[in-house]
Structure 1
């Protein structure tokens, strides 16, 4: 299997597993941390950790343009579906098999209001298990919580954690 992880700035990452391209929290327009434009990318899947504008970002536009499926909690998935995106809703603790691997939503401790002020459900992280059993954990925006030790017991090979302080975990 081949893997590639790309940091696009802020909380936005690309993950490529073989031929499948994912974007996590695709915030490009108005993001001072990146020069990439949403139209430069053609993902197969979008994974959204929570509803804040700097994580939902350009997801609807990208999904409608590329046909990428949005994976998110049920509230965000419904909001994006209403905007014309194809979605697959999940809930924390639940998982689903996709062509690139198994995705389980994990707890995150953060807010999740959507850009229009509506309720964005519970914030989440993603634990992705690849077909060859490698595990990648994207925590999303979160504070430290005791349940992270349980995620660690899953045998995580790579963890992407927020360490910005103030809005997320700090030193």
Structure 2
């Protein structure tokens, strides 16, 4: 199973059979490792509808026919030409060919009227359990996630200002009991500039393994 970081908060997980694309903000993203019209995927998972996450979702969904997984208010932003959806809400889960997707809360704003942000905990049939927090602040129920799920990889923001910063992300990793942490949502703009190597060193001092993945790089999960 492969994780490819496409820049900012966009990444792809390739199981070998299915490709899951998360928060596809590529056009207008200085970090983007691929153009939106080159992306191939079978699933698009959206944490919320801010432009730096919703981004190219409509165009990619229309071109690929990918199943869009999101809350109803975010789904309502798609054009009428897109029709392949898996509507969800917090606490719900659905079974896909690759495993189980559970939608969990995030503390942020949504970018869609009446909507709420979310994260995802994915238990892959032939692979790890992955938590993608979406844009979020630190919150206490991350401890509950750590109790209920054996999280192998926690993919979380460290940019600060709009989301958790490095210090809170370290606390989140402890709450989650994650075996590995992959940071994102940093350095796209000066307001969210962070030194990922400093974050990795601070995490190592707490016994937390941080994997820094640069835009365009792929790692094995």
| TM-score over 0.5 for the pair | yes
When normalised by structure 2's length, the TM-score is 0.71
Partner of 2:46: 48
Partner of 2:64: 66
**What is the CA deviation profile of residues 62-110 of structure 1, one whole-angstrom value per residue up to 9, with x for unaligned ones?**
0000100100012112322645242110001100001111100011000
When normalised by structure 1's length, the TM-score is 0.91
**Stretches of structure 1 lacking an aligned partner (at least 5 in a row):** none
| Higher RCO (CA < 8 A, seq sep 6+) | 2
**What is the CA deviation profile of residues 146-167 of structure 1, one whole-angstrom value per residue up to 9, with x for unaligned ones?**
0111111211011101111100
**Stretches of structure 2 lacking an aligned partner (at least 5 in a row):** 168-221
For 2:5 and 2:127, locate their aligned partners in 1 and report how far apart those are by CA, in whole Å: 23
Per-residue deviation at 1:36? 1.0
For 2:123 and 2:44, locate their aligned partners in 1 and report how far apart those are by CA, in whole Å: 16
Q: Is the 1:60–1:83 contact (alpha carbons within 8 Å) kept by the matching residues of 2?
A: no
Per-residue deviation at 1:40? 1.1
Partner of 2:154: 159
Where 2:74 maps in the other structure, the secondary structure is helix
Where 2:48 maps in the other structure, the secondary structure is coil
Where 1:65 maps in the other structure, the secondary structure is helix
Partner of 2:200: none
* Aligned: 1:130 with 2:128: no
- Mapping 1:74-153, distance limit 5 Å: 74-80=72-78, 82=80, 84-114=82-112, 119=113, 121-132=115-126, 134-153=128-147
When residues 77 and 31 of structure 1 are mapped into structure 2, their CA distance, relative to the original with a 3 A threshold, is: same
Q: Going by fraction, where is helix more abundant, 1 or 2?
A: 2
Per-residue deviation at 1:21? 0.3
Partner of 2:205: none
For 2:131 and 2:44, locate their aligned partners in 1 and report how far apart those are by CA, in whole Å: 15
Per-residue deviation at 1:19? 1.1
Q: Is the 1:76–1:120 contact (alpha carbons within 8 Å) kept by the matching residues of 2?
A: no
* Aligned: 1:57 with 2:52: no
Q: Bigger radius of gyration, 1 or 2?
A: 2
